[in-house]
Structure 1
């Protein structure tokens, strides 16, 4: 039988990880369930085009961080995840997935240490980060030869893993096709392809409704938009650039990312740059704090900073109170909920055309 080929791109979004705690599941254990047998072998490629063939459904999966963990939970393969790095912080996962996600053992509060990963007993490692030094301690991750010796196959979330690499497409990312491809790819790898199609169909329906509603809005009437990552610090803003997932979310929502021409995923910026752009709207982007009250306070603090900081007090968006309160997790991290973020932004910046942003 000829392997099915599922292709795409790869890379590193560590931004999500900066807010993650222990996830409350460090000592829990999960018993792997029987995996599907149909639809194999499946062949997937990494950022450089190197192919890996998955001969059968994995039964013991380790994820590099909460982004790939959430995607597997959404696919219904969460019962086969035996460990994760960069675990989701309290309140980060959707409520329907939170209990199961909390049971996943935490193998590293940041990156999974090399020795622990190789000794985990995993047969598959799903990597959001791509080829780069493992974060925390400066050590490098396992080589592909070491993965093979340990019996672990190594695949990537390609939509995030290559965004900051030389192999990434130079043009700004303007749609969610790469994220949808990742969902389908993981569905093929884990034998949950039917569920993957359900998720993608739901995303396309929500995004398609927004696209139809905004079809008559010309480019010059689409408001400019700045993502203020409050948790990344206030001394120096982080520019969310054209290669980042958020650029696609913003574009699909009928707005124009003020840093879309920045040829990277993220890049250190300056308040002078933001002032020069004078955005029409500012997203107050914060991590979920684990409760509505705490998260609301974080949004309030972010808004209060912009209203009191001399460099930003006079910005159009600040003066007119044009703020979008939307979490980092659904904006800058690849996942099913990117489609919900598109609708929420669109409903806020185009309220006469798009309804029900929640």
Structure 2
């Protein structure tokens, strides 16, 4: 299923973003320009040098002669990246705002001050009239249409007339073009570096990516002795998407990379796409060894605990799932949805947390 359709579904039932396995790095361009590259290219660690050329999923370039001054983000994923980069003071609005308690503590106050231009997709007229010179697109496909009940997107000509340039997050907006399953975080890291170049915060971007690589590298080293056939089967149970029909995480969603890096095997890793509705019979047939209780942050520890408890209670009492191996053995992972399925720096922390839960003897440290 194409990313634009699934993101429309996510607006109603799930997790708001999709994933793809792109690198999104940077390489030197012509005439001394820094290029934020399309999938498959390496990412430069050098400071941003303008002009910066940014490629979309289809390889079309957008050139930035200077850092943007007024930025609008399509949802919480790109907003959090910009806040982490120190460019939050330039964000003048967002769509799909982060829920209560979902932003990390060090940027939560700054994030709360960003005006909400749309509880879901930003209305076309409001986006074009926002005064932005950059729009960071997290989940639209490259056709320019939003589809899936998401509304009508501005055309390329309308963006140009409004003076708005666009940057697409390769790790979330390019699902349909991803050449292979996403099994690492290079796409997310590439997006962070690309935004660092565009906003002139490359040094901070490099530091964020280095921290992610250190955390994931430590897990990889700790689990080096775990054979592929010993990886436990893992099901991400999207409790907030509803219990009537489960929503599976496929091989192009960033969660697939998180699960893989944590030493597990996504039982729906054979799904070619990001999200896909499946049946409880499908879940039973997979009989996972572990189940992640995917709930959204409720805004407090007490409310989060209740949500996790409710998700576990459902699985223990629902006739189709109470006999599953993971349920019988109490193998539940209590890690929230946002840090697992939304691209960002905290994906690396989630890798550590899941790995520590599954392999406590090998992975001692967890955030």
Same fold by TM (over 0.5)?
yes
Aligned equivalents of 2:319 and 2:186: distance in 1?
40
Match of 2:100 in 1: 90
Superposed, 1:1-358 pairs within 5 Å as 1-9=31-39, 39-131=49-141, 133-134=145-146, 138-163=150-175, 165=176, 167-169=177-179, 171-358=180-367
- SS for the counterpart of 1:44 is strand
> Which string of whole-angstrom CA distances, capped at 9 and with x for unpartnered residues, describes residues 295-343 of structure 1?
1100000000000000000000000000000111110111000000000
Q: Is the 8 A contact 1:172 1:261 kept in 2?
A: no
Mapped contact 2:140–2:146 kept (Cα < 8 A)? no
8 Å Cα contact 1:9/1:161 also seen in 2: no
Aligned equivalents of 2:145, 2:75: Cα separation in 1: 15
SS of 2:338's equivalent?
coil
Q: Would the aligned equivalents of 2:263 and 2:355 in 1 still touch at CA under 8 Å?
A: yes
Give CA deviations for 1:231-276 in whole Å, capped at 9, x if unaligned. 0000000010011100100110000000111100111111101100
Contact kept, 8 Å, 1:42 with 1:189, in 2: the verdict is yes
Bigger RCO of structures 1 and 2 (CA < 8 A, at least 6 apart): 2
Shift, 1:356, TM fit: 2.3
Are the structure 2 counterparts of residues 240 and 138 from structure 1 closer, same or farther at C-alpha, using a change threshold of 3 Å?
closer
**Equivalent pair of 2:48/2:198 in contact (CA under 8 Å):** no
* Offset of residue 135 of structure 1: 6.9
Rounded to whole Å, the distance in 2 between the matches of 1:9 and 1:208 is 22
CA distance in structure 1 between the aligned counterparts of 2:136 and 2:115, rounded to whole angstroms: 15
Distance 1:107 1:175, change over 3 A: same
Gaps of 5+ in 1: 11-36
CA contact (8 A) 2:171 2:188 kept: yes
Equivalent residue of 1:330, what SS? helix
**Aligned Cα root-mean-square deviation (Å):** 1.5
**For the residues of structure 2 that align with 1:156 and 1:313, how far apart are their CA atoms?**
42
For 2:171 and 2:279, the matched residues in 1 are separated by 27
Q: Distance in 1 between matches of 2:102 and 2:270?
A: 30
Q: Secondary structure at the match of 2:62?
A: strand
| Count, aligned residues | 329
The whole-number CA distance in structure 1 between the counterparts of 2:48 and 2:169 is 22
Q: Where do 4+ consecutive residues of structure 1 move more than 4 Å? A: 135-138
Contact 2:32 2:49 (C-alpha < 8 Å) held by counterparts = no
> Using the alignment, how far apart are the partners of 2:89 and 2:252 within structure 1?
33
CA contact (8 A) 1:8 1:181 kept: no
TM-score by length of 2: 0.87
Q: Distance in 2 between matches of 1:2 and 1:95?
A: 38
